[in-house]
Chain A
Amino acid sequence: MQVPVDLGLQAKPKGPDTLIDVRDMRIYYATTAGEAKVVDGVDLRIYRDEIFGVAGESGCGKSTFVEGLLRLIKLPGYIKSGTAQFFPKNVEGKEPDEPIDLLKISQQDMRKLRWKHIAYVPQGAMNALNPVMRIDDQIVDAIHAHVNMSRKDAIELMLKQLNMVGLPPYVANQYPHELSGGMKQRVTIASSISLSPDVLMADEPTTALDVNIQRIILQELKEIRERLGLTIVYVSHDMAVHAELADRMGIMYAGSVVEVGTTIDIFKRPLHPYTQGLIKSIPKIGGPRERLVGIPGLAPSPLAWPSGCKFHPRCSKAMDICRQVAPRLGVVEEGRQVACHLYETQPKVESENSERTLSEIKLHV
């Protein structure tokens, strides 16, 4: 795609064809200091063929949320409650529109869904490849775990995927340490979608890479989506990345989702005070020098979330009710959800941040 600035943002979220419907998902960690409620009631709907960005400060539970959908949570962490209905295309032994509850199915069934229907690129994708195995062996074994295919065909398929992200065929014969960070990243992403999964979950795949490579990889992800029609759930703390990539976004704070909307809406008119803070803390290029405003206070600990609205101790607009009653995520307008007491009575408040234009934000991506 030629000009990055407006891509994705202008693409309207396609139809209400739900792919994953998460309700009240909770993932707790049993620690010596008590129960850490890392994911504490997430409600989210992800549509087919969209790029959905999950944003939030580190420690807000966004990675755990994705790991939970893949059932990769290890003890002492466990899934406390919730449902995550998944509507994949043609899964063997299943009716077309019959949902699968990702949080309830057996590990054995989950194993069959992984990579073939739900692909995952972990945080630190740089180290996702086994250092003592050749690239081809690591990809072919995954293909063989899901489809019956000769080794020759599997290699063929892998080479096609590598070619798609511009990697030469000889990469297949190499060991991970012989590749650069960006190359390893691309190998991971390209091979993850070799069986055309319904959804790719990418957890900050571009951290630890320099900005140029990040940019190229994001471009490649978008191209792949345009060509193959793939749903991508993209987790990142970096709002600029979301501005570039995502169709819709969910903002997470303290283990739950506080705001959902199209990326354009969220950047133009953030509703939740936390979202407003996030956007205000993005530095902008050009215009008068301005002091960057961060969000005051520290992120709370999952061992003891604040009462009521978990954001109230850091919120400049906190009211009495915020300290006592936790706001629920509710529809404010078409395609827009927010969990904040400010909007139950006056849902269409004008944001103070609206004068900031999108191009200002995007320039320094």
Chain B
Amino acid sequence: MQKYKRFLFYVLRKVATYLFTIWAAFTITFFLFRSLPGDPVSAWAGALQQRYAVNMAGGSEMVEAYRKQFGLDKSISEQYFSWMYNAIVHQKLGPSFVNFPRPVEELLAERIPWTVGLLSVSILLAWVIGLLLGALAGWLRNSWISSLLTNYAVVISQVPPYLVAVMLVLWLGYSWRILPTQGAWDAQYTKGFNLPFILSVLKHAILPSVSIILVSVAGWILSTRSLIVNILGEDYLIYAEAKGLPTSQLLLRYGLRNALLPQTTGLALSLGFIMSGQLLIETLFLYPGLGELLARAIGAFDFNTIMGCVMLSIVTVMTASLIIDLLLPLIDPRVRAVVS
């Protein structure tokens, strides 16, 4: 009974931290944006004026009207509380600028499937490939295969994915013209569950996902390699070898299995960081995901949309790490021992 009590306490503490961190991160972001000079509407109007030389002389009333509509005429603390209230109670994030007057939550909902589809598949694939190659590089650590993999990983791992994307676009997209480099599907197909559309979607996903995979694989190779090399030196692996287990079992059940726990944690975290990392990839390929929306929102000083995206990102990251914290004691007997 004592055991369950302690576990319950652990869960409660994690959930409390989860809620507090989300709130704090959100609050910091909100006030950071609002403390910048000017408010979004005036900034936007200013930008319009500067860019297109619009005569705003008669527009100040219009600006006032918009300010009212966006609730910018109230004090900053009032804005903060009403934003929080609407977001939490009604799940409403206010109207957007970029697609005025569509509400932000609608825009987000429209784009989430694209981002999740493209990025989660790429990240998962990269994880699996990277784990296997990294295990190979660790297992055969004195072979040419290992040095090839390691050196590839060293060169690529820290390169931002968008640089790789630029080069891929250059070679495969423009020079050879074999793969589409923009958008998520060909306009001539009707959106829906039909084969030509799905094929078109897959074809458009190749370049962006390959650029993500090429880079993230490298990171997983390096981390898995050093995990495996460490595990190979552990007494339990030497003993397992002395038990006369076949090599495949040694590598899978004793090597990879023990590396899997930390790497699963890493995977969940990187899935959480889906939004921030790959924003530029979507922009580059004009892929209709969250990243591209965020880029446009930033360009247009669209405060509500930026806040919506940031909020969504914060919540995904935190949720991913909360899930790990709650699952880890169930998966790893050592963590379970500490918790209960």
Contact = CB atoms under 8 A, between A and B. Distances in A.
A122 B244 contact: no
A30 to B, nearest CB: 11
Contacts of B236: 127-131
Contacts of A133: 253, 257
Interface residues of B, number: 25
B238 A72 contact: yes
Given A145-B249, A177-B334, A116 B242 contact: no
Nearest to B236: A130
B333 A116 contact: no
B28 interface: no
Interface string B225-262: 00000001011101111111111010001100110010
A126 B240 CA distance: 13
B240 A114 contact: no
Q: Which of A74, A122, A132, A175 neighbours the largest number of chain B CB atoms within 10 Å of its CB?
A: A132
Contacts of A132: 257-258, 261, 332-334
Contacts of B235: 122-128
A178 interface: yes
Given A124-B235, A141-B253, A145-B249, A131 B244 contact: no
B74 to A, nearest CB: 55
A145 B239 contact: no
B50 interface: no
Contacts of A112: 244
A180 B337 CA distance: 14
A141 B244 contact: no
B175 interface: no
Given A122-B238, A122-B239, A146 B254 contact: no
Nearest to A112: B244
B239 A188 contact: yes
Contacts of A127: 234-236
B35 interface: no
A142 B333 contact: no
B194 interface: no
Interface residues of A, number: 34
Contacts of A128: 235-236, 238-239
Nearest to B338: A177
B239 A129 contact: yes
Nearest to A120: B242
B254 A130 contact: yes
Nearest to B243: A142
A175 B335 CA distance: 12
B243 A114 contact: yes
A48 to B, nearest CB: 21
A126 B244 CA distance: 19
Interface string B91-133: 0000000000000000000000000000000000000000000
Nearest to A128: B239
Nearest to B245: A145
Interface in A92-150: 111-116, 119-133, 138, 141-142, 145-146
A126 B239 CA distance: 11
Contacts of B337: 175, 177-178
Nearest to B232: A74
A132 B334 CA distance: 7
A298 interface: no
A113 to B, nearest CB: 7
A127 B239 CA distance: 9
A258 interface: no
B246 A75 contact: no
Nearest to A143: B243
B77 interface: no
Q: Which of A114, A126, A128 neighbours the largest number of chain B CB atoms within 10 Å of its CB?
A: A128
A329 interface: no
B329 to A, nearest CB: 13
A120 B239 contact: yes
A121 B242 CA distance: 8
B55 interface: no
B104 to A, nearest CB: 44
Interface in A129-186: 129-133, 138, 141-142, 145-146, 175, 177-178
B142 interface: yes
A120 B320 CA distance: 43
B287 to A, nearest CB: 39
A164 B170 CA distance: 70
Contacts of B142: 75
A72 B333 contact: no
A188 B243 CA distance: 11
Contact of A72 (B241, B245, B258): B241
A38 interface: no
A128 B240 CA distance: 8
A70 B242 contact: yes
B257 A72 contact: no
B244 A115 contact: yes
Nearest to B254: A130
A116 B257 contact: no
Contacts of A124: 235
A219 to B, nearest CB: 23
A131 B245 contact: no
B263 to A, nearest CB: 13
23 contacts: A72-B238, A72-B242, A75-B142, A111-B246, A114-B243, A122-B239, A124-B235, A130-B236, A130-B254, A131-B334, A132-B332, A132-B333, A141-B245, A141-B253, A142-B240, A145-B246, A145-B249, A146-B244, A175-B337, A177-B333, A178-B333, A178-B337, A188-B239
Interface of A: 70, 72, 74-75, 111-116, 119-133, 138, 141-142, 145-146, 175, 177-178, 188
Interface of B: 142, 232, 234-236, 238-247, 249, 253-254, 257-258, 261, 332-334, 337
Given A72-B241, A130-B254, 19 more contacts: A72-B238, A72-B242, A113-B244, A114-B241, A114-B243, A121-B239, A122-B239, A122-B242, A128-B236, A128-B238, A128-B239, A131-B258, A131-B333, A132-B258, A133-B253, A141-B249, A142-B244, A145-B243, A145-B249
